[in-house]
Structure formats: structure tokens, C-alpha cells
Amino acid sequence: MDRKCFMEKNTQKCEGFRAQAFYQFRLKDAKDQDLILQKLAQMEGISFSIHGTQWIVSENTQEAKKQELMFSLLERATAFITELSKKLRKECQIESITYDGPLLYSSIYGEAKGMSAPQPTKDLQTITVFMRLSLVCK
């Protein structure tokens, strides 16, 4: 908060104060952003801007994608073990599986322009799963 000052006849005059407030909104539907913007626009004496808009993929969606990737890796590992067993002429089995490493998610950033709120885009998101196998061949 700072004083609202201006110059008048080579003299500084101060009348009132000027302040900034920061808010964060979490909405289930991005279209609801327009309602918030409309309400703010109706308020007199307030100016506002929007910065760093971000859409976050829900944890349920991320977890479902992670499970899908883990099963896909397991299927590929199983196919590899089958081929390895044939090549070595031994029976190979998975001794242990570890899914580790970070789950990487890159979020989308946008910025509002005018009175219409930015909408999520269909850009690709990245989720990475690492798999470590321990095999035993006899």
C-alpha cells in the first residue's frame, strides 16, 4: 500500500492510498473464469490484470495415465523376457520391478487478453514413468 500522490502547482499533494491485492482462483471449469472477470469489471474504481494463468491436470487423471504407462512398460518387459529366454535358451523371470523416478508433468501457461478469460489448450502434456527390472534366468 502506498499513498496516492500527485503534483499540483509545483507542490506534491497526497489524497488517499493506493493498494494492490493478489488472488488465486481454482475452478473446475475454465469457462467460469469469465464470470469472475465480469464481476470484477462491474466494480467501480478497480483495475485488474491477469498473469500466470495455469491449468493443472487432476490427480485422478494423472494417476490413471501413470497406471496406463506402468502396464504398457510391463507388457513390453514381458515381451522382452520372452525373447531373451528364447535367445539364451533359459527360462527367465522377473525377480522384482521398481517404478521410480519423478513423474514429470508440464503445465500450460497462458495470459488473459481483454475481457475474455484464457481457455485451456489441447497441447500435449508429459508424464514420465521409469521402470527398473531385475531378471533371473536359469
Q: Cα-flanking dihedrals φ and ψ of residue 59, to 5°?
A: -65, -35
Kind and range of the H or E run holding 101: none
**Residue 108 pLDDT:** 34
For residues 55 and 108, the answer to whether their CB atoms sit within 8 Å is yes
Q: Cα-flanking dihedrals φ and ψ of residue 104, to 5°?
A: -100, 130
**Residue 118 pLDDT:** 58
**Residue 100 pLDDT:** 66
Mean pLDDT confidence for 101-112: 39
The bridge status of strand 130-137 relative to strand 2-8 is: unpaired
Q: What is the mean pLDDT of the chain?
A: 76
The bridge status of strand 130-137 relative to strand 92-100 is: antiparallel
Single out the residue of 52, 15, 39 nearest to residue 115, CA to CA. Answer: 39
Domain boundaries, the chain: 2-137
Q: pLDDT tens, 24-36?
A: 777 777 777 778 7
Single out the residue of 63, 51, 54 nearest to residue 26, CA to CA. Answer: 54
More confident call, 69 vs 112: 69
**Residue 113 pLDDT:** 34
Alpha helices by DSSP H, listed for the chain, are 33-42, 59-88
Q: What is the pTM of this model?
A: 0.49
Q: For residue 126, give the C-alpha cell.
A: 508429459
Q: pLDDT tens, 56-71?
A: 777 788 788 888 888 8
CA distance 88 to 33: 61
More confident call, 54 vs 62: 62
